[in-house]
Amino acid sequence: MRTFLVEVWAELQKTSWPARREVYGTTVVVIIAVVICAVYLYVVDTALNSGIQFLFKTVGR
């Protein structure tokens, strides 16, 4: 177990970690993309729901 932990620590030392500014920038991009996708899906869902309800009201009679 000790050997494993030593090897894991050695690998972590070799890792190239991103800078704080880079992490912040990519996080903002991801959040904006998620919001845009959520708004798009909401609009499409609402439009399809309205269309289907209209069809059921007109054809269903």
Tokens 């998620």, located at residue: 34
Tokens 């500014």, located at residue: 21
**C-alpha distances in Å from residue 49, one per residue of 9, 14, 44, 53:** 54, 53, 8, 6
pTM: 0.69
Q: pLDDT (tens digit, 0 to 9) for every residue of the chain, 61 residues total?
A: 999 999 999 999 999 999 999 999 999 999 999 999 999 999 999 999 999 999 999 997 6
